[in-house]
Amino acid sequence: MGALPSIDISVKAQTMDIPASESGDDESVPDEKTPADASPKLQKQEKVKKEKQQPDDEKQIESNVAILQGLNKVIGRVSTFEAPLGTLSNFENLEIIVRKCWKSSPDERPENAALLEIREIRSGEAPRQIFLGWMLSSSPGLSSLEHPVYDITVISCEYRKDIEIN
């Protein structure tokens, strides 16, 4: 096979002045991120984007209990249990404290996230922390407990009026 021929490609950039809107209506006021000479349509899009990023108090879902699922990999037993925020919950030889639990609003993609502290209890030893971090219900493998015997998964975050504290 012969060598490929070389092709010379030249690209020239040219700057252009874009005239300001000729409509003369000043309905939308440019914000700090949108250039002053941007079209009113672009300014409106930026304003809508900014409003979507600001959470409404009504949209935030208050949760005071995390629904977790525990798996004993050795015997194959699965247990679903409730863990109130800030209290100590037990799953076999594990102590679990849910620090925070967050649930997405109904108009967003379904997601639950819990900030968990998990400690393992061994006889004759002080409890040893084996996990501290956020777990996501939609992606359990993203941040998971790495343990040879146990697996913990976040199912959901909910609000309960009457919580049983262990």
Report pLDDT digits (tens) over 62-116.
Answer: 788 999 999 999 999 999 999 999 999 999 999 999 999 999 888 888 889 999 9
Distance CA 46, CA 113 (A): 29
The pLDDT tens digits for 21-47 are 444 444 444 444 545 555 665 665 665
Rounded to 5 degrees, what are φ and ψ at 41? -65, -45
Rounded-to-integer distance, Cα 119 and Cα 96, Å: 7
pLDDT of residue 54: 44
pLDDT at 44: 59
> CB under 8 Å to 31, separation ≥6 — which residues?
43, 46, 47, 50
More confident residue, 32 or 139: 139
Instruction: Kindly report the number of other CB atoms within 10 A of residue 85's CB atom.
Output: 17
Mean pLDDT of the residues in the chain: 75
Residue ranges of domains in the chain: 65-158
